[in-house]
Amino acid sequence: MRTADFVEHLNSYPATDVLVVGSGPSGIAAAIAAARAGASSVRIIDRFGFVGGNLTAGLVGPCMTSFSLDGEIQLVRGIFDEFVRRMEDAGGAIHPSRVDSGTGFSGFMVFGHERVTPFDPEAAKFIGLQMLEEAGVELMLHTFVADTVVDGRTVTGVVVANKDGLGHVPASVVIDCTGDGDVAARGGARFAYGRESDGLVQPMTLFFRIKNVDDDAVDEYYRTHPENRFPFEDIVAAAREDGSYPIPRRGVQLFRTPEPGVWRINTTRVLGMNGTDVADLTSAEIEARHQVADLLEFFRKRLPGLENCELLDTAATIGVRETRRILGEYTLTFEDLQQGKHFDDVIAAAGYPVDIHSPTSGDGPFDDGIPPTANIYEIPYRSLTPQDLDNVLVSGRCLSATHEALAAVRVMPPCFAMGEAAGVAAAWAARDGATIHEVDIPALQQHLLGQGAYLGPTFTAPQGPDRDDETGRDRSTALHH
């Protein structure tokens, strides 16, 4: 935390109305929404040289469901749906209305895996960039936000480190989309960390992709071995038992991509590390890369369809599932999701269930005995508003939620939906010189509905469902009338 006198000798960048820190799913949506809502200037900062966060740098995919748990209603629409359709038009995605659970695209999972979105990370990089440019957002890449400048409960800017040296970026309203809540935490916002019982967080995973996979052979193995809850679980169990390969998970979590023969692998696992500690991050990257080498050998020697696979790429960063959860005016709980609780200040709806990868073993997801969430649940605006700050919104993985609730809403489609709402709220707060606690919620909800959002059964969407010709499922969005 820094005060105004600290920044006097730093490079000074132009002040911005709305500053979005982090360009992952949440940050992309937040910046586009803020610019479209009329903010006079919007700047987005990211430490990488491209946008996307886990969509791109993390090689994470597919986007988990944007539909209700039963796969019937598309809940996350708006900017997310526009992004997916543009990737699809460029040949880089398959719209979720056409993706069934129990297939390679859904990692052969059934529960919670209806209507996922397979996509190409390069399409995400370019379409994300294009949409930001078209909205008039100013990009500041290769820039790490190292500290927060505060005046009481107000964040007046951030301290950045980049090739220019150390700099100061002043802002009227900030949306913290760093996943880790870096800006809010350094600005003095209280936060929670880890599960209540022992303070542990979910494990980290370095994603990688393989090519030259025999897609049909993998499908055939899944079809003829229905006893496997996770793909190749029987073969993994044998290797773990005889000690030939130290596979860190119960099965191989692999996802087919739109490109034939190319699959994403979500199977490395590093336990007990803190994603806000650089020594832990370094150790985790090292350990995970050794796991990639071991897994590749195991795949080629033991897995049907993967005999000739080759490494296509590894993620630019290890994936961090959980760190700080900023304390907001409301903390979203598992019970809220289970009951499908209605919030007067609902700003997003989602249907992905609680997905906890065990902090202590190779188990999960869905191994913890946690009951299913409601078919549709809601996310309130107050889970994006830190109790301790007046002009900072938190959106995406660092929202105010319990360990269990975060494990559901952390997936990428709800992060887009939160970002879209946060962007509009930030633009309005900057315009009106108001705090983020004073935003007109009914007006925000009407605005989001007008942009094609679905806000749960209490609200009627402005248009009827747009049925997909092939599947008859709802793929509606106001943006594509």
Binding site for ligand FAD (CB under 6 A): 21-27, 45-48, 53-54, 57, 60-64, 144-145, 177-180, 182, 205, 266, 319-321, 396-397, 410-412, 415
Residue with smaller CB distance to ligand FAD, 245 or 416: 416
Smallest gap from Cβ 145 to ligand FAD, in A, equals 4
Residue with smaller CB distance to ligand FAD, 208 or 302: 208
How many other CB atoms are found less than 10 A from the CB of residue 63? 27
- Angle of helix 278-302 relative to helix 233-242, nearest 10 degrees, comes to 100
Dihedral of CA 98/101/104/106: which sign?
Answer: positive
Residue with smaller CB distance to ligand FAD, 125 or 382: 125
Smallest gap from Cβ 54 to ligand FAD, in A, equals 3
CA–CA gap between residue 324 and residue 391 (Å, rounded)? 19
Smallest gap from Cβ 396 to ligand FAD, in A, equals 2
Smallest gap from Cβ 322 to ligand FAD, in A, equals 8
Residue with smaller CB distance to ligand FAD, 302 or 321: 321
Smallest gap from Cβ 218 to ligand FAD, in A, equals 18
Smallest gap from Cβ 412 to ligand FAD, in A, equals 3
CA–CA gap between residue 52 and residue 7 (Å, rounded)? 29
Cβ-proximal residues to 88 (8 Å cutoff; 6+ apart), any chain: 94, 95
Smallest gap from Cβ 282 to ligand FAD, in A, equals 16
Smallest gap from Cβ 414 to ligand FAD, in A, equals 8
Residue with smaller CB distance to ligand FAD, 18 or 302: 18
Residue with smaller CB distance to ligand FAD, 23 or 476: 23
Residue with smaller CB distance to ligand FAD, 116 or 302: 116
Smallest gap from Cβ 205 to ligand FAD, in A, equals 3
Residue with smaller CB distance to ligand FAD, 54 or 302: 54
Residue with smaller CB distance to ligand FAD, 25 or 359: 25
